[in-house]
């Protein structure tokens, strides 16, 4: 293989950074000139991941602004990337997942006729408004990209059904690689540091970790989730709920209005990645609308209750590691109480096999990219 290839990783949010970190760290410098561009579509939560995984940033568009709209962030990203492409001509662009940054990174790559690699390709909910705008972002990214790394066979089938038939590989999800890296780092630290950080939690009780922030749940669905959490805490004296609350006012306002004074519900600021995965490991169950946590928690043997009407991660539902419970208050209460109070149901979910990977996904992707270069496809 002659000449190093210029590769550019483009991401803008915390989940993208987590899932690209293992790949960024493993790409061999003898074959690649690697650069990293962040849009900072999300700022504070992104910076912590960059520090935790020690990622060197070469280009920072720093685009986040208060109350930014999809219109605003879209125009800023595409113009910002155009400026960067005047400084660097990448041979390969890597994007991950389903964010606005992912889609626009792929689109910008198409505009300069360079190869686009899509990590975590092929997930589909079949509802273009849920998750919103992520479902359409992922579909468009898939149809632009040249190389597709699907986490599961189901994701590959989704691509094939849409007429994307070439350069698809099923490799697992890099989120599991990142989780293992993170847990390794944590084990080298004092565990007392973490117990001190969460000193407000009674770890003798069953801990329920809650994350909920999706745009499609703003309004009534979010209020339903909050009222359900309130009832769950009231009904079950043997549990404590810990809810790191997203900073978006559409989340923070109803959460604090409904849950602020409820016993055994702890509303806290968003957690750094190391504290989040440590707490996840100590939790009994996880209630979430997050995509990544649906993949991470089963690796730790934690049942996942998905508070969404649809999910693009049906593999976990089918495998039994997760259950889709929607945003109706009564159903959330019923399903959660069932898991808390039925040991058999809990064990069935906790022991189910995680379908999302084995921690070797980044290595597989690296080897495939190297082979494509050897075949002169890049």
Q: Which residues are catalytic?
A: 98, 120, 134, 213, 215, 246
CA distance 123 to 104: 18
Sign of CA dihedral 369, 59, 178, 206: negative
Pick from 177, 263, 249: nearest CA to 213: 249
CA distance 86 to 81: 9
Q: Examine residue 75 and say whether the peptide bond preceding it is cis (omega within 30 degrees of 0).
A: no
Which stretches of 302-351 are DSSP H helices? Answer: 314-319, 329-341, 343-350
Q: CA 122 from chain center: how many Å?
A: 15
Number of H helices, E strands in the chain: 16, 13
CA distance 244 to 266: 8
CA distance 277 to 68: 29
CA distance 205 to 238: 5
R_g (Cα) of the chain, nearest Å: 21
Q: Examine residue 133 and say whether the peptide bond preceding it is cis (omega within 30 degrees of 0).
A: yes
């Amino acid at each position: 293989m002659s000449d190093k290839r210029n590769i550019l990783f483009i991401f803008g949010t915390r989940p993208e950074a987590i899932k690209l970190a293992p790949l960024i760290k493993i790409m061999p410098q003898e074959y690649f000139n690697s650069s990293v561009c962040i849009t900072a579509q999300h700022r504070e939560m992104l910076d912590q991941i960059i520090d935790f995984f020690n990622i060197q940033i070469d280009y920072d568009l720093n685009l986040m602004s208060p109350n930014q709209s999809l219109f605003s962030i879209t125009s800023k990203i595409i113009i910002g990337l155009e400026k960067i492409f005047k400084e660097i001509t990448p041979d390969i662009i890597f994007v991950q997942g389903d964010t606005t940054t992912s889609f626009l990174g792929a689109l910008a790559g198409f505009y300069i006729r360079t190869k686009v690699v899509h990590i975590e390709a092929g997930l589909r909910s079949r509802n273009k408004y849920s998750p919103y705008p992520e479902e359409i972002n992922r579909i468009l990214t898939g149809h632009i990209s040249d190389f597709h790394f699907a986490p599961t066979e189901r994701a590959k089938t989704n691509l094939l059904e849409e007429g994307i038939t070439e350069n698809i590989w099923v490799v697992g999800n890099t989120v599991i690689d990142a989780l293992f890296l993170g847990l390794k780092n944590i084990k080298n630290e004092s565990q007392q540091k973490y117990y001190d950080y969460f000193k407000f939690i009674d770890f003798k009780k069953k801990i329920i970790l809650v994350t909920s922030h999706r745009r499609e749940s703003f309004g009534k669905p979010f209020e339903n989730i909050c009222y359900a959490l309130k009832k769950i805490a009231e009904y079950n004296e043997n549990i404590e709920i810990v809810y790191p609350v997203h900073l978006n006012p559409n989340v923070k306002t109803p959460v604090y209005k409904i849950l602020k004074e409820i016993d055994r519900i702890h509303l806290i600021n968003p957690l750094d990645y190391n504290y989040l995965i440590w707490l996840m490991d100590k939790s009994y169950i996880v209630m979430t609308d997050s995509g990544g946590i649906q993949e991470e928690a089963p690796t730790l043997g934690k049942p996942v209750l998905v508070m969404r009407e649809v999910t693009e991660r049906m593999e976990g539902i089918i495998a039994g590691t997760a259950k889709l419970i929607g945003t109706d208050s009564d159903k959330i209460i019923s399903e959660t109480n069932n898991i808390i109070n039925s040991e058999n149901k809990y064990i069935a979910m906790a022991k189910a096999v995680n379908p999302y990977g084995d921690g070797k996904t980044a290595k597989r992707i690296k080897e495939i990219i190297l082979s494509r270069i050897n075949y002169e496809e890049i």
